Amino acid sequence: MAKSSSLTKGKSIFIIDALLIPVFILLTYTGLKLHVADHVDNHEVWAFWAHWHIVVGIVTLVLGYLHVKAHWVWYKGLIKNGAGKKSKVTIVISILFVILVVTGIILVFFIEGGNSSVGLWHYRLSLLMVALLIAHTVKRFPIMMKGLKNKRKTEKSKKQQEVVA
């Protein structure tokens, strides 16, 4: 039974990672629309994009948490052994994620207006995050697909062995 839960874990990691891609694109899109709407003198347009950006941000936060949880061994190794051979891009993405979540919460609950210094830093850092996430996704995507394929082969082989036995 424990072995099949490993497959389930592999599938769930794949699903979480795969969901993060369109959600990341949508978060970027709503963030850019929000930034542009801030330059238009129409509060309704700004409010529309602000609400959507918050909703997609919450979805991103949940998926981000599940992503970190799924890869917790990597983070434990980082804490225990230091950066060493760990991906510096992934470390920076992790730090930026925390900063963007905190600044997003500050903007929603404590500061009015994206044109504040916190809002502008949130925007600038998010542009850096977009570039790093594209690099991270492009580099990891083949690994993710290979891992899923290997899990499927292992499961198929185990099912065939069970039938023979």
* Collapsed DSSP state (helix, strand, coil) of residue 19: helix
Q: Which residues of 38-53 are buried (b: 16+ CB within 10 A; e: fewer)?
A: beeeeeeebeebbebb
Structure-token pair, residue 21? 């891609």
Domain boundaries, the chain: 2-159
Q: What is the DSSP string of 104-158?
A: HHHHHHT---TTSHHHHHHHHHHHHHHHHHHHHHHHHHHHHHHHHHHHHHHHHHH
Cβ neighbourhood burial of 122 (10 Å; 0-12, 13-18, 19+): buried
Read off the pLDDT band of 6 (50, 70, 90).
very low
Name the pTM for this structure. 0.76
Q: Which one, of 59, 58, 128, 69, lies nearest residue 95 by Cα? A: 128
| Mean pLDDT, rounded, of the chain | 83
pLDDT at 150: 63
pLDDT at 4: 40
Q: Does residue 125 surpass a pLDDT of 90?
A: yes
Q: Which amino acid is at 15?
A: I
Q: Does residue 1 surpass a pLDDT of 60?
A: no
pLDDT digits 0-9 by tens, 45-79: 989 999 999 999 999 999 999 998 888 888 887 77
**Whose structure tokens read 């003198």?**
41
**Whose structure tokens read 């991270």?**
136
Read off the pLDDT band of 2 (50, 70, 90).
very low
CB-based contact 60:23 (threshold 8 Å): yes
pLDDT at 151: 61
